[in-house]
């Protein structure tokens, strides 16, 4: 953060924090929350995620991952038990300010974890900038959150949209591909992933010949697939996730394009969907900050624990939720659970080195992960790692006064 901005933030927050401490630990018997002296009140964690609609599975995986990180710490973070407050954001940007206000004003949560959809992320940002609540975003890649709208209390454990497609330019160049069409939903995530790809591809001498969009969350792909067939690019690159990714992969195959025009994308296209798509995704190559077959000690332990607890295989969303729990643990451990010491929590989270199933990562100055981008290829039911497409890729954080 900008030095002056941070100094004034720290002072303001220190005063707020001191008031919070006075409210919960005065030497009396019964404290305002009904808390007995000597115990710390439960930490209130607000989960704002999609639990209905096309991104439902993503919201569930993030929730599972976060709770697994908490359970691995005996159900506590910074020594405090957790009380969860949950809001289904329906991936609806119009309802985002009201939904996040429910957590902040009504439930008075200490921390907000959310969300998946970039448009909803931006709807949360204004409310959370004003309240100063610690916010960890476990997915939504909206560039502005850690760019022009960055703030000391905003953290992301996932990726920026730009990051998720930027390395694809190099990947296509290495395969001798010079022309491509990009297809996606028309909203911040799709547009920013298109930009990230275009920048990387053009740097390598490639040409993006057409951008094709449909409104979120529509999945009527037929007309656009017909257009792709008539353009005949050397490759198709896309961003779709969740239910939309399943439908797109099946429709691409049904339209006769699979095997004719190679399909690439950010890895959300094939993560968490392989059981549902049959062989429609076989051979599809993507870039992402997680992959199957990383074969590290941390990843193996995480996968085993996740499968045992939830009877499900983890995916990138589960990893991002798990790392949100790990990052918050790092912040709270440093202040012994005293979330009122916001400056202390922020300082510890900024310095954290996260031992993630994806591989170790740290935060950039704008609070976005600096991380390896893997090239993956669908083989059977796995996004098999092929190598590192870009080592320690950092988002450019354009507009963040860090």
Query: For the window 153-172, what string marks contact with ligand BEZ as x by the rule CB under 6 A?
Result: --------x-----------
Q: Which is nearer to ligand BEZ, 158 or 326 (CB)?
A: 158
Q: Which is nearer to ligand BEZ, 53 or 331 (CB)?
A: 53
Q: How many residues bind ligand BEZ (CB under 6 A)?
A: 11
Q: Which stretch binds ligand BEZ (CB under 6 A): 139-147, 321-329, 383-391, 394-402?
A: 139-147
CB of 163 to ligand BEZ, least distance (A): 11
Tell which one of 93, 114, 141, 262 touches ligand BEZ (CB under 6 A): 141
Chain positions 19 to 58 lying near ligand BEZ, rule: CB under 6 A, are 55
CB of 268 to ligand BEZ, least distance (A): 4
Chain positions 314 to 373 lying near ligand BEZ, rule: CB under 6 A, are none
Q: Which stretch binds ligand BEZ (CB under 6 A): 31-39, 105-113, 116-124, 275-283?
A: 116-124
Q: Does 118 bind ligand BEZ (CB under 6 A)?
A: yes
Residues β-bridged to residue 186: 215
Q: Which is nearer to ligand BEZ, 189 or 228 (CB)?
A: 189
What is the distance between the alpha carbons of residues 178 and 204, in angstroms, rounded to a whole number?
9
Residues β-bridged to residue 210: 181
CB of 265 to ligand BEZ, least distance (A): 11
Q: Which is nearer to ligand BEZ, 138 or 152 (CB)?
A: 138
Chain positions 232 to 271 lying near ligand BEZ, rule: CB under 6 A, are 241, 268
Q: Which is nearer to ligand BEZ, 163 or 253 (CB)?
A: 163
CA torsion angle 72 57 376 157 (round to 10): -50
Structure tokens at 339: 């979330």
CB of 159 to ligand BEZ, least distance (A): 8
Q: Which is nearer to ligand BEZ, 190 or 262 (CB)?
A: 190
Q: Which is nearer to ligand BEZ, 9 or 221 (CB)?
A: 221
Q: Does 62 bind ligand BEZ (CB under 6 A)?
A: no
What is the distance between the alpha carbons of residues 62 and 65, in angstroms, rounded to a whole number?
5
CB of 120 to ligand BEZ, least distance (A): 8
CB of 245 to ligand BEZ, least distance (A): 9
Count of other CB atoms within 10 angstroms of residue 267 = 27
Structure tokens at 243: 């239910």
Q: Which is nearer to ligand BEZ, 87 or 335 (CB)?
A: 87
Structure tokens at 376: 């993956």
Burial tier of 370 (Cβ tally within 10 Å: 0-12, 13-18, 19+): middle
Q: Which is nearer to ligand BEZ, 53 or 141 (CB)?
A: 141
Q: Which stretch binds ligand BEZ (CB under 6 A): 81-89, 113-121, 252-260, 339-347?
A: 113-121
Residues β-bridged to residue 156: 137
Q: Which is nearer to ligand BEZ, 77 or 277 (CB)?
A: 277
Q: Does 189 bind ligand BEZ (CB under 6 A)?
A: yes
Applying CB under 6 A, the residues found at the interface with ligand BEZ are 55, 116-118, 139-141, 161, 189, 241, 268
């Amino acid at each position: 953060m900008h030095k002056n901005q941070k100094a004034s933030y720290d002072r303001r927050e220190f005063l707020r924090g001191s008031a919070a401490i006075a409210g919960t630990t005065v030497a009396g018997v019964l404290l305002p929350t009904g808390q007995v002296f000597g115990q710390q009140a439960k930490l209130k964690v607000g989960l704002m995620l999609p639990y209905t609609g096309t991104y439902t599975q993503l919201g569930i995986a993030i929730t599972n991952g976060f709770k697994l990180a908490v359970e691995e710490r005996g159900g506590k973070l910074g020594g405090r038990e957790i009380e969860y407050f949950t809001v289904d954001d329906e991936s609806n940007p119009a309802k985002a300010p009201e939904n996040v206000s429910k957590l902040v004003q009504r439930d008075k949560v200490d921390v907000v974890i959310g969300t998946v959809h970039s448009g909803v992320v931006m709807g949360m940002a204004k409310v959370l900038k004003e309240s100063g609540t610690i916010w960890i975003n476990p997915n939504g890649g909206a560039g502005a959150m850690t760019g022009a709208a960055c703030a000391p209390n905003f953290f992301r454990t996932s990726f920026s949209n730009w990051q998720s497609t930027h390395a694809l330019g190099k990947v296509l160049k290495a395969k001798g591909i010079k022309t491509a069409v990009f297809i996606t939903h028309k909203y911040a995530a799709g547009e920013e992933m298109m930009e990230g790809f275009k920048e990387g591809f053009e740097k390598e001498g490639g040409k993006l010949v057409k951008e094709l969009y449909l409104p979120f969350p529509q999945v009527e792909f037929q007309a656009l697939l017909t257009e792709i067939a008539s353009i005949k690019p050397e490759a198709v690159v896309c961003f779709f996730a969740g239910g939309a990714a399943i439908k797109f992969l099946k429709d691409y195959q049904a339209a006769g394009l699979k095997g004719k025009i190679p399909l690439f994308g950010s890895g959300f296209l094939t993560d968490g969907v392989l059981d549902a798509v049959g062989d429609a995704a076989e051979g599809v190559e993507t870039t992402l900050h997680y992959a199957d077959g990383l074969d590290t000690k941390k990843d193996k332990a995480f996968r085993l624990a996740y499968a045992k607890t939830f009877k499900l295989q983890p995916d990138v969303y589960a990893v991002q939720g798990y790392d949100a729990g790990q990052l918050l643990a790092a912040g709270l451990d440093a202040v012994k659970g005293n979330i009122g010491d916001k400056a202390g929590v922020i300082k510890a989270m900024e310095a954290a080195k996260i031992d993630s199933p994806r591989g170790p990562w740290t935060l950039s100055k704008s609070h976005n992960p600096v991380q390896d981008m893997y090239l993956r290829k669908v083989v059977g039911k796995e996004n098999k790692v092929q190598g590192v497409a870009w080592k320690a890729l950092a988002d450019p954080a354009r507009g963040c006064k860090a």
